């Protein structure tokens, strides 16, 4: 399903004035390259400047049949024809042909000839690449600048080599000028200094791939991924350099091919296939690697990544032309956490298209079909970019949204799809934006925000018109004849729709072949080249927001509103994922013609400003998505939490954006309640005001009364009104019944009101063990903080301080239970008792109680050591200044556990020696001294 929104992605357009009818166009390096129909001349126009002025013009050595530009190296590669021979050539330093009078050097790859570029000047060079087969298609890698050439049944990879002037001088090549460090002439020194950083490009034939069962029609190369498109199939391979040789097992099913070739009277159609990942090796297309012998750095290994084959369904009225593939593209995407110099993109996507359906796959980290684009009419070409997919029909240019940013966001940030951050899923349905009408579109190419279109009004030559008329006549005659044959045998095709559809097909009297793409007519008129500028992502986002307000007014909980907000979110993410350095690399080619030295600083400042605006827009979008999910269904309500967090809104601002549902005045959206509960359960230092805290109590008393105990125990609710909250809790008890956590919470409210008799009455309502279970269920009634680990700041509550005075045994038992249930750590419990600041030995009582309950050997040994030092200190009747975890251990009251209790209930204490009563009579020693001596003696650590 494809959503359609009336958002305009285009801002302006202009017509490029060229001298001759264009036959081929391509974009790159800030330039538009136009090749005249049947000509041998290339004109380069600037798409960055208004009016698209001519940059340079140069002649080719043959008639250009195909042309591509490489961003890395800023070179052009062409397939040319001359004297019925096909050549592959690369053009470097083409920008220096502004006046078409500069010198031109011609050489074979690997041969650096003597020329002006070696002596200090700069000239355009034409590098010819000999091939044993006719080149059919070429592709330049946008990551490394390497070149992939597709021939009849082979793929040849040429690696881009770059050498500067200084390194060539060190090689003592005879054609090179003197080194700047060795020359004594001032003029020679100036020449060498000005050119020592000049890069000289060359290519090296690296590997040859043999594909005997597929005839390449189009190829693509990106970061080691190799894609080849045949007539009905697409194959994607991963080419890796390895130190160990590895060969693929070639398919032995060669007899089938010979057998099929001999059966000329039958038509065999391969079955439809989609093989992803490791399953792709099960396709029937073997690939073998041929070593070129030009390098010894290692061996190449291949792995299958993706295979997709389409088969026309003639029974459903599908023709071969409707299954013809086009627009194969491998697209890399870097993220802001990557360096520009890295040759490994974070994501690599593969796109290819049928006339009616386009397919976008993600290749890295597992092959996955991201989107299937259902076109409203037949599409001629398509180009994938970061933000949009641009497609052309005969009469329109249209844009579809893409899911590349959703994949890259999950690779870049591990916290995506958690309670901290969120991003729309990769499986989100795509949408089509408003189309722009043209007449007779032929081709499309994209550079940055510029979409270049070639159109011509003459969509059909007179010869083709006559040929089509004759063809339609033959089809009618054929249909009439076959219908008569069926009627003669008693079968009426009109009563059988499937038979009628079969007879209407034009393939019965012809072989199953695919018509080649018709070349541009040299006699046509009415052609135009358009440069259509797309709006900035921020402007398109604002238009999407305005468009989404219409959905919000009619159906605020509808899927269309959420879908459009998600599209806007991905649009902003795609812009933020790219660094300013990467954008500058795209905007400026390797050979820069800038004259303003301050331009990079201005670009950097502008990029920083744009980034800040995009981040602010993203926060606004996250707030809008949070609003949408807060009112949504129970299925997706949890997404309100991460989106609200990403928006940077405070909890008070979020509450102001959410109101009770119109259908129920006392009910709030499930997503909003989910966000509010998680915010209150978090350990934050922010406290709500009394007004906000009372509002939170009202919200949960109306919508989620069962959460009131947890809400009241939250550290953020410390400023709530105790009297008002107590009335709500008493009403909850009357309706829902008595529970231990609820009773403790009501006792806490009484304590805040300084009503100690009522507090005591409530705390005595349940047995001590039940109260301990209540504290286990809601530990925040005793402790605030500590959610971040051992060293997180933790503090006692008012209830804890009161229990230390009136119910020390209950407090110790509760702390032991919390420790054993992993609600508090030992060091945090020690800190709590130290914070209480009373000389009543609660900390020692806690350690002794821990010995009786704990089963962790490490904790037991630590506690035995601590208690031994305490007992010794008590015998010496001194304060424990030597123990950092204990202060003022001497107390007038008895310990909660006596020596006899420890002996009877704890296996870590041994038996009491009888002679201790003689050594330390009761009438001559204090009770604390005698108790410490007994506990020290029975301590097994001694």
Per-residue pLDDT tens for 120-170? 457 888 999 999 899 999 999 999 999 999 999 999 999 998 876 555 555
- Helical (H) or strand (E) element with 728: helix 722-736
What pLDDT is recorded for position 50? Answer: 87
Q: Is 537's pLDDT higher than 70?
A: yes
Question: Could you tell me the pLDDT band of residue 505, with boundaries at 50, 70 and 90?
Answer: low
What pLDDT is recorded for position 761? Answer: 94
Alpha-carbon gap, residue 216 to 233, rounded angstroms:
10
Angle between helices 798-806 and 740-752 (to 10 degrees): 90
Non-local CB neighbours of 708 within 8 Å, separated by 6+ positions: 697, 700, 701, 728, 729, 732, 742, 745
Lowest mean pLDDT among 219-223, 304-308, 826-830, 861-865: 861-865
What pLDDT is recorded for position 62? Answer: 92
- Range from 196-210, 355-369, 909-923 that averages highest in pLDDT: 355-369
What pLDDT is recorded for position 892? Answer: 52
Looking at the DSSP assignment, which residues form a beta bridge with residue 54?
45
Q: What is the share, in percent, of the chain residues with pLDDT greater than 90?
A: 45
User: Which pairs with CB-CB distance under 8 Å and at least 24 residues apart come from 746-751?
Assistant: 747/799, 748/712, 748/781, 748/797, 748/798, 748/799, 749/712, 749/722, 749/723, 749/725, 750/722, 750/726, 751/798, 751/799, 751/802
Question: Could you tell me the pLDDT band of residue 639, with boundaries at 50, 70 and 90?
Answer: very high
Lowest mean pLDDT among 255-269, 309-323, 379-393: 255-269
Q: Is 180's pLDDT higher than 50?
A: no
Q: Is 778's pLDDT higher than 50?
A: yes
Give the pLDDT mean for 33-49: 90
Lowest mean pLDDT among 327-336, 623-632, 747-756, 858-867: 858-867
Tell me how crowded residue 105 is: count the other CB atoms within 10 A of its CB.
18
Rounded to the nearest angstrom, the gap between the alpha carbon of residue 209 and the centroid of all alpha carbons in its chain is 32
Give the pLDDT mean for 834-845: 75
Q: Is 460's pLDDT higher than 90?
A: no
Question: Could you tell me the pLDDT band of residue 518, with boundaries at 50, 70 and 90?
Answer: very low
Q: Is 830's pLDDT higher than 60?
A: yes
What pLDDT is recorded for position 471? Answer: 60
Say if CB 94 and CB 107 are below 8 A apart: no
Q: Is 539's pLDDT higher than 90?
A: yes
Question: Could you tell me the pLDDT band of residue 865, with boundaries at 50, 70 and 90?
Answer: confident
> What dihedral do alpha carbons 144, 150, 153, 154 form, nearest 10°?
-30
Alpha-carbon gap, residue 840 to 312, rounded angstroms:
88
Q: Which residue carries 């219908």 as its tokens? A: 483
Tell me how crowded residue 596 is: count the other CB atoms within 10 A of its CB.
8
What pLDDT is recorded for position 752? Answer: 94
Nearest Cα to Cα of residue 527 among 453, 464, 454? 454
What pLDDT is recorded for position 455? Answer: 92
Say if CB 774 and CB 738 are below 8 A apart: no
Alpha-carbon gap, residue 520 to 335, rounded angstroms:
40
Non-local CB neighbours of 668 within 8 Å, separated by 6+ positions: 658, 659, 660, 661, 699, 702, 703
Give the pLDDT mean for 465-493: 63
User: Which pairs with CB-CB distance under 8 Å and at least 24 residues apart come from 120-124?
Assistant: 120/177, 120/191, 120/192, 120/194, 120/195, 122/93, 122/96, 122/195, 122/198, 123/93, 123/96, 124/58, 124/91, 124/92, 124/93, 124/94, 124/96, 124/97
Question: Distances in Å between the alpha carbon of 787 and those of 274, 350, 715, 717?
Answer: 49, 45, 12, 17
Q: Is 919's pLDDT higher than 60?
A: no
Q: Is 196's pLDDT higher than 50?
A: no
Q: What is the share, in percent, of the chain residues with pLDDT greater than 70?
A: 69
Alpha-carbon gap, residue 442 to 458, rounded angstroms:
11
Question: Could you tell me the pLDDT band of residue 906, with boundaries at 50, 70 and 90?
Answer: low
Lowest mean pLDDT among 103-107, 160-164, 699-703, 936-940: 936-940
Q: Which residue carries 């975890």 as its tokens? A: 885
Question: Could you tell me the pLDDT band of residue 875, with boundaries at 50, 70 and 90?
Answer: low
- Residue-wise pLDDT for 305-323, tens only, equals 999 999 876 555 555 666 7
Give the pLDDT mean for 225-242: 91
Lowest mean pLDDT among 340-344, 627-631, 649-653: 340-344
- Residue-wise pLDDT for 887-903, tens only, equals 444 445 566 665 555 65
pLDDT top residue among 657 and 176: 657
Burial 650-672 (b: 16+ CB within 10 A, else e): ebeebbeebeeeeeeeeebbbbb
Nearest Cα to Cα of residue 148 among 37, 36, 66? 66
Give the pLDDT mean for 713-722: 92
- Range from 45-59, 550-564, 675-689, 839-853 that averages highest in pLDDT: 45-59
Indicate the DSSP class of residue 840: S
Transcribe 744-773 into DSSP letters. HHHHHHHHHTT-HHHHHHHHTSS-HHHHHH
Non-local CB neighbours of 122 within 8 Å, separated by 6+ positions: 93, 96, 102, 116, 195, 198
Question: Could you tell me the pLDDT band of residue 911, with boundaries at 50, 70 and 90?
Answer: low
Q: Is 378's pLDDT higher than 70?
A: yes
Say if CB 725 and CB 745 are below 8 A apart: no
Transcribe 581-602 into DSSP letters. HHHHHHHS-SS-----TTHHHH
Lowest mean pLDDT among 248-252, 400-404, 447-451: 248-252
- What would the 3-class secondary structure string for 380-412 be? CEEEECCCEEEEECCCEEEEEECCHHHHHHHHH
What pLDDT is recorded for position 192? Answer: 40
How open is the CA angle 583-587-592, to the nearest 5 degrees?
125
What pLDDT is recorded for position 340? Answer: 47
Alpha-carbon gap, residue 803 to 797, rounded angstroms:
10
Indicate the average pLDDT of the chain.
79
Question: Could you tell me the pLDDT band of residue 660, with boundaries at 50, 70 and 90?
Answer: confident
């Amino acid at each position: 399903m494809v959503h359609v929104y009336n958002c305009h992605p285009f801002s302006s357009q202009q017509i490029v004035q060229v001298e001759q009818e264009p036959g081929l166009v391509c974009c790159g390096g800030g330039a538009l390259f136009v090749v005249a129909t049947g000509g041998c001349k290339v004109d380069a126009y600037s798409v960055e400047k208004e009016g698209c002025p001519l940059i340079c013009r140069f002649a080719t050595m043959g008639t250009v049949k195909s042309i591509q530009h490489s961003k890395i190296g800023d070179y052009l590669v062409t397939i040319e024809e001359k004297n019925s021979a096909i050549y592959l050539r690369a053009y470097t330093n083409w920008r220096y042909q502004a006046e078409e009078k500069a010198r031109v050097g011609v050489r074979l790859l690997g041969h650096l000839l003597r020329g002006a570029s070696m002596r200090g000047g700069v000239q355009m060079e034409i590098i010819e690449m000999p091939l044993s087969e006719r080149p059919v298609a070429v592709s330049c890698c946008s990551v490394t600048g390497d070149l992939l050439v597709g021939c009849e049944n082979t793929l040849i990879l040429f690696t881009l080599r770059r050498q500067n002037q200084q390194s060539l001088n060190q090689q003592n090549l005879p054609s090179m000028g003197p080194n700047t460090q060795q020359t004594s002439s001032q003029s020679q020194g100036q020449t060498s200094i000005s050119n020592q950083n000049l890069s000289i490009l060359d290519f090296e034939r690296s590997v040859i791939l043999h594909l005997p069962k597929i005839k390449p029609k189009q190829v693509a190369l990106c970061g080691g991924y190799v894609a080849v498109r045949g007539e009905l199939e697409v194959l994607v391979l991963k080419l890796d350099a390895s130190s160990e040789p590895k060969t693929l097992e070639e398919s032995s099913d060669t007899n089938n091919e010979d057998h099929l070739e001999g059966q000329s009277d039958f038509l065999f159609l391969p079955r439809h296939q989609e093989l992803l990942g490791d399953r792709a090796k099960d396709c029937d297309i073997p690939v073998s690697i041929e070593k070129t012998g030009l390098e010894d750095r290692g061996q190449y290994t291949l792995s299958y990544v993706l295979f997709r084959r389409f088969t026309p369904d003639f029974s459903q009225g599908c023709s071969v032309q409707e299954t013809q593939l086009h627009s194969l593209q491998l697209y890399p995407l870097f993220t802001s956490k990557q360096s520009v110099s890295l040759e490994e993109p974070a994501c690599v996507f593969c796109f290819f298209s049928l006339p009616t359906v386009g397919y976008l796959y993600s290749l890295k980290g597992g092959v996955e079909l991201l989107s299937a684009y259902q076109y409203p009419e037949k599409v001629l070409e398509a180009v994938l970019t970061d933000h949009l997919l641009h497609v052309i029909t005969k009469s329109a240019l249209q844009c579809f949204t893409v899911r590349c940013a959703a994949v890259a966001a999950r690779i870049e940030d591990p916290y995506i799809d958690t309670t901290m951050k969120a991003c729309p899923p990769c499986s989100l349905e795509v949408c089509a934006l408003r189309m722009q009408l043209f007449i007779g579109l032929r081709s499309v190419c994209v550079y940055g925000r510029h979409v270049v279109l070639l159109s011509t009004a003459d969509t059909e030559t007179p010869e083709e018109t006559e040929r089509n008329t004759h063809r339609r006549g033959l089809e009618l005659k054929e249909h009439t004849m076959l219908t008569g044959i069926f009627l003669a045998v008693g079968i009426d095709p009109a009563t059988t729709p499937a038979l009628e559809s079969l007879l209407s097909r034009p393939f019965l009297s012809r072989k199953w072949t695919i018509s080649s793409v018709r070349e541009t007519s040299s006699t046509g008129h009415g052609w135009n080249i358009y440069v259509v500028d797309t709006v900035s992502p921020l402007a398109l986002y604002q238009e999407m927001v305005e468009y989404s307000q219409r959905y919000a007014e009619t159906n605020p909980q509808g899927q269309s509103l959420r879908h459009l907000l998600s599209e806007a979110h991905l649009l902003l993410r795609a812009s933020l994922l790219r660094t300013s350095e990467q954008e500058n690399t795209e905007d400026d080619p390797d050979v820069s013609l800038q004259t303003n030295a301050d331009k990079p600083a201005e670009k950097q400042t502008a990029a920083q400003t744009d980034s800040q605006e995009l981040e602010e827009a993203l926060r606004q979008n996250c707030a809008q998505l949070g609003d949408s999910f807060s009112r949504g269904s129970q299925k997706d309500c949890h997404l309100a939490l991460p989106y609200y967090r990403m928006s940077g809104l405070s909890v008070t601002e979020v509450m102001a954006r959410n109101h009770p549902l119109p259908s129920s005045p006392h009910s709030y959206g499930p997503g909003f309640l989910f966000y509010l509960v998680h915010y209150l359960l978090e350990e934050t230092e922010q406290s709500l005001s009394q007004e906000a805290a009372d509002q939170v109590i009202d919200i949960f008393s109306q919508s989620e009364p069962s959460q009131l105990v947890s809400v009241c125990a939250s550290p953020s609710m410390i400023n709530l009104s105790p009297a008002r909250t107590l009335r709500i809790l008493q009403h909850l008890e009357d309706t829902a019944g008595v529970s231990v956590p609820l009773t403790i919470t009501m006792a806490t409210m009484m304590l805040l009101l300084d009503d100690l008799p009522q507090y005591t009455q409530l705390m005595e309502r349940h047995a001590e063990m039940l109260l301990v279970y209540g504290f286990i269920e809601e530990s925040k009634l005793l402790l605030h903080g500590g959610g971040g680990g051992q060293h997180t700041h933790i503090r006692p509550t008012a209830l804890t301080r009161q229990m230390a005075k009136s119910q020390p045994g209950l407090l110790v038992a509760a702390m032991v239970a919390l420790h054993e249930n992993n609600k508090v750590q030992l060091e945090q419990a020690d800190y709590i008792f130290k914070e209480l600041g009373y000389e009543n030995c609660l900390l020692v009582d806690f350690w002794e109680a821990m010995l009786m309950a704990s089963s962790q050997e490490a904790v037991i040994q630590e506690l035995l050591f601590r208690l031994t030092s305490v007992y010794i200190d008590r015998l010496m009747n001194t304060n424990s200044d030597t123990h950092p975890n204990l202060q003022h251990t001497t107390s007038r009251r008895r310990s909660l556990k006596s020596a006899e209790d420890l002996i009877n209930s704890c296996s870590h204490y041994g038996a009491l020696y009888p002679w201790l009563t003689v050594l330390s009579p009761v009438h001559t020693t204090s009770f604390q001294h005698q108790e410490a001596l007994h506990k020290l003696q029975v301590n097994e650590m001694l």
